[in-house]
Structure 1
Amino acid sequence: MDCRLGCGACCIAPSISSAIPGMPKGKPSGERCVQLDDNNLCKLFGKPERPKVCLSFKACPDVCGDSDRAAMDNIFELERLT
């Protein structure tokens, strides 16, 4: 599955404990990553400073569902369960 451009759920819903450029302590669940632009695209995509956790995320139907809203709901639920 390819990412839905402009979705941004994986950059908003999960907590990220590792440092992100501009967010040295990571980010809590529900907070937009500072590297997410106005079109919900990652400003670090393809750059070496992109965090390892972000590089390892792969879009899949079980997590991303069939819409941006489903992705957000699924990731928030996964966050709640962990």
Structure 2
Amino acid sequence: MECRPGCAACCIAPSISSPLPGLPDGKPAGMPCPHLDGTASWRCRLFGRPERPAVCASLAPSVEMCGASREQAIRFLEQLESATRP
């Protein structure tokens, strides 16, 4: 499965506990990653670079996670985030 253009749900909804450029303590849930390109495409500017967190590189799109829309993907990832909070 390929990423849905303009989605970026996985770069917004979940928290990232590992450091990334500009966020040494990681990214909180619900905050758009500052490394999204900011255009309608919402592409990762760290894609393929060594600074990209391992958790981002290991996350692959799936029918279950992505659903049929960006809104469904965000909802799924928010629920997952909530269910896995310490």
What's the TM-score bracket when you normalise by the shorter of the two chains? Answer: over 0.9
Provide Cα deviations, 1:48-74, integer angstroms capped at 9, x if missing partner: 211101000000010110111110010
How many correspondences in the alignment?
82
Unpaired runs of at least 5, structure 2 = none
TM-score, scaled relative to structure 1: 0.94
Bigger mean CA offset, 43-52 vs 55-64:
43-52
The match for 1:81 is 83
- What pairs with 1:1-82 in structure 2 (closer than 5 Å)? 1-39=1-39, 40-82=42-84
Point out 4+ residue stretches in structure 1 off by more than 3 angstroms.
none
Provide Cα deviations, 1:17-41, integer angstroms capped at 9, x if missing partner: 0001111110111011111121211
Unpaired runs of at least 5, structure 1 = none
TM-score, scaled relative to structure 2: 0.90
